[in-house]
Structure 1
Amino acid sequence: MRKGVKAAVVGGVVAVVVGGAGYGTYNVVSALNGTAVSGGSAPERTGPPGADEVKETSQDFFAAWQKGDAETAASYTNFPEAAQELLTAYGTDAHISQVRITPGAASGTTVPFSVKATVSFDGRSKPLSYSSRLSVVRGTSTHRPLVDWQPSVVYPALQKGDTLVTGESAAPAIEAVDRNGAVLTKEKYPSLGPILDELRAKYGDQAGGTPAVELSIHHADTEAADTPLITLAKGRPGKLRTTLSASAQAAAEEAVQRFAESSIVAVKASTGEVLAVANHREDAFNAAFLGRLAPGSTMKIISAATLIDNGITSANGPAPCPDTAVWQSQTFHNLTGMKADEHATLSDSFARSCNTAFVKYADSVKVDSLTREAEDRFGLGRDNWKTGIPSFDGSVPASGGPDTAANMIGQGQVQMSPLNMASVTATAMTGRFHQPVLVSPRLDDRELARAQGLPAGTVAQLRQMMHRTATTGTAAQAMSGLSGDIGAKTGSAEVDGQAKSNSWFTGYRGDVAAAAMVQAGGHGGDTAGPIVAAVLRAAG
Structure 2
Amino acid sequence: MRREVKYGLIGGSVALVAGVVGGFTLFGGSDESSPQEVRSADAKPGDSAPKVKTGPLSAKEVHTTAQGFLTAWQSGDAAKAAELTDHPDAAKGALETFAKRAKFSKVTLTPGTPAGGKVPYTVAAQIDYKGTKAPVSYGTSMTVERDTRTGKPRITWKPAVLHPGLAEGDELRTGEAEAPPIKAVDRNGAELTPQAHPALAGVLDNLRDKYGDKTNGKPGVELFIHRAKAAKASAQQPDKTLKELSKGTPGTLKTTLDAALQTAAEKAVKGKKSASAAAVKPSTGEILALANSPEKGFNLATQGSLAPGSTMKIVTSAMLMDKGMTSPGKEHPCPKYVTVGGWKFQNLDKTEIKHGTFAQSFAASCNNAFIGQAKDLADDDLTKEARDVFGIGLNWQTGIPTFDGAVPVQSDAQMAASLIGQGGVRMNPLNVASLSATVRAGSFHQPYIVAPSLDNRTLAKASRTMKPGTAAGLKSLMKLTATSGTAAEAMAGISGDVGAKTGSAEVDSQKKPNAWFTAYRDDVAAAAVVPASGHGGSNAGPLVRAILTAS
TM-score (norm. length: structure 2): 0.84
1:256 aligns with 269
Aligned pair count? 499
Deviations 1:176-222 (A, max 9, x none): 11111111122322232222222222222221222221222122225
User: CA offset at residue 71 of structure 1?
Assistant: 2.4
Higher mean C-alpha displacement, 86-95 vs 255-264: 255-264
Alignment of 1:229 with 2:237, yes or no, is no
- Unmatched 5+ stretches in structure 1: 1-38
Partners of 2:307 and 2:425 within 8 A in 1? yes
Residue in structure 1 matching 2:401, options 390, 395, 407: 390
- In structure 1, C-alpha distance between the alignment counterparts of 2:333 and 2:251, rounded to whole Å: 58
User: Closer, same or farther in 2 for the Cα pair 1:404/1:65, shift >3 Å?
Assistant: same
CA distance in 2, matches of 1:97, 1:469: 66
Distance 2:332 2:49 in 1: 82
Q: Kindly provide the amino acid, as one letter, of the partner of residue 323 in structure 2.
A: N
- Measured after TM superposition, the shift of residue 266 of structure 1 is 0.5
1:280 equivalent among 276, 293, 316: 293
* Partner Cα separation in structure 2 for residue 500 and residue 132 of structure 1: 38
Asked if 2 retains the 8 angstrom alpha-carbon contact of 1:256 and 1:280, the reply is: yes
Residue 352 of structure 2 corresponds to: 340
Over 3 Å counting, the alpha-carbon distance change for 1:40 and 1:407 in structure 2 is closer
CA distance in 2, matches of 1:441, 1:305: 29
Instruction: Give distance in 2, aligned partners of 1:275 and 1:88.
Output: 46
* Residue 535 in structure 1 maps to residue 547 in structure 2: yes
Residues 346-402 of structure 1 show CA distances to partners (whole Å, capped at 9, x for unaligned) of 22211221111100111233333222322222222232x211223233222332222
More moved, 59-68 vs 178-187? 59-68
Give 1 or 2 for the bigger CA radius of gyration: 1
Structure 1 contact 259–527 (Cα < 8 Å) conserved: no
Q: Secondary structure of the residue that 2:143 maps to in structure 1?
A: strand
- Name 2:154's counterpart in structure 1: 146
Pairs within 5 Å for 1:41-190: 45-190=53-198
CA distance change for structure 1 residues 199 and 109 in 2, over 3 Å: closer, same or farther?
same
Q: Encode CA deviations 1:51-109: one digit per residue, 9 max, x unaligned.
A: 22222322222223333433222222222222223223320111223333333322222
2:431 to 417, 420, 435: 420
With over 3 angstroms needed to count, the CA separation of the structure-2 counterparts of 1:149 and 1:366, relative to structure 1, is: same
Aligned 8 A contact 1:429 1:462 in 2: no
Q: Pick from 411, 429, 436: which aligns with 2:422?
A: 411
2:413 aligned residue: 402
1:216-267: CA deviations, max 9, x gaps?
2122225533222212122222111000011211222233333334322100
> Does the alignment pair 1:506 with 2:514?
no
The residue that corresponds to 1:325 in the other structure is 338
The answer on whether the counterparts of 1:54 and 1:109 sit within 8 Å (CA) in structure 2 is yes
Where does residue 449 of structure 1 map in the other structure? 460
How much does 1:316 deviate?
A: 1.8
Mapped partners of 1:68, 1:480: distance in 2: 69
Unaligned stretches of 5+ residues in structure 2: 1-46
Matched, 1:440 2:448: no
Q: Per-residue displacement from partner, 1:2-59 (whole Å, max 9, x unpaired)?
A: xxxxxxxxxxxxxxxxxxxxxxxxxxxxxxxxxxxxx999965421111222223222
Looking at structure 2, the residues matched to 530 and 99 of structure 1 have their Cα atoms a distance apart, in angstroms, of 53
Structure 1 pair 535/125, CA: closer, same or farther in 2 (3 Å)?
farther
Higher relative contact order (Cα pairs below 8 Å, separated by 6+ residues) = 2
Q: Which amino acid aligns with 1:379?
A: G
SS of residue matched to 1:205: helix
Structure-1 separation of matches of 2:272 and 2:185: 27
Judged with a 3 Å threshold, the aligned counterparts in structure 2 of structure 1 residues 255 and 134 are, in CA distance, closer, same or farther, namely farther
Question: What's the offset of the Cα at 1:483?
Answer: 4.2
C-alpha separation in 2, matches of 1:283 and 1:158: 18
CA distance in 1, matches of 2:115, 2:267: 37
Quote the offset at 1:327 in angstroms.
Answer: 0.7
Q: What SS does the corresponding residue of 2:536 show, helix, strand or coil?
A: coil
Counterpart secondary structure, 2:54? coil
Q: Which of residues 227, 252, 256 in structure 2 aligns to 1:243?
A: 256
Q: Letter of the aligned partner of 1:81 in structure 2?
A: D
Assess if the C-alpha contact under 8 Å between 1:68 and 1:91 holds in 2: no
Q: What's 1:36 paired with?
A: none
**CA displacement at 1:164 relative to structure 2:** 1.1
Indicate the percent of aligned positions where both proteins have the same amino acid: 51
Q: Deviation of residue 319 (structure 1)? A: 2.2
- The residue number in structure 2 matching 1:22 is none
The separation in 2 between residues aligned to 1:476 and 1:153, in whole angstroms, is 54
Residues 427 and 454 of structure 1 are in contact (CA less than 8 Å); yes or no, is this contact kept in structure 2?
A: no
TM-score, normalised with respect to structure 1? 0.86
Question: In the TM superposition, what is the alpha-carbon distance from 1:326 to its structure 2 partner?
Answer: 0.7
Distance 1:60 1:500, change over 3 A: farther
Following superposition of structure 1 onto structure 2, how do residues 473-492 of structure 1 map, counting pairs within 5 Å? 473-480=485-492, 482-492=494-504
Name the CA shift for 1:210/1:159 in 2 (closer, same or farther; >3 Å).
Answer: same
**In structure 2, what is the Cα distance between the partners aligned to 1:527 and 1:84?**
53
Alignment pair present for 1:370 and 2:370: no
Partners of 1:399 and 1:406 in 2: how far apart? 9
Give distance in 2, aligned partners of 1:364 and 1:101: 69
1:428–1:454 Cα contact (<8 Å) kept: no
Determine the C-alpha separation between the residues in 1 that align with 2:375 and 2:189.
Answer: 53
Amino acid at match of 1:128: V
CA shift for structure 1 position 523: 2.9
Query: CA, structure 1 residues 209+51, in 2 after alignment: closer, same or farther (shift >3 Å)?
Result: same
- Greater shift, 436-445 or 372-381, is seen at 372-381
SS of 2:537's equivalent in the other structure is coil
Which residue identity does 2:490 align to in structure 1? A
**Alignment-mate amino acid for residue 54 of structure 1:** V
Instruction: Tell me how far 1:424 sits from its aligned partner.
Output: 0.9
Per-residue deviation at 1:278? 2.0
- 2 CA distance for matches of 1:88 and 1:498? 47
Q: CA deviation at 1:121?
A: 1.5
Aligned to 1:430: 441
**Contact between 1:89 and 1:164, CA under 8 Å: does it hold in 2?**
no
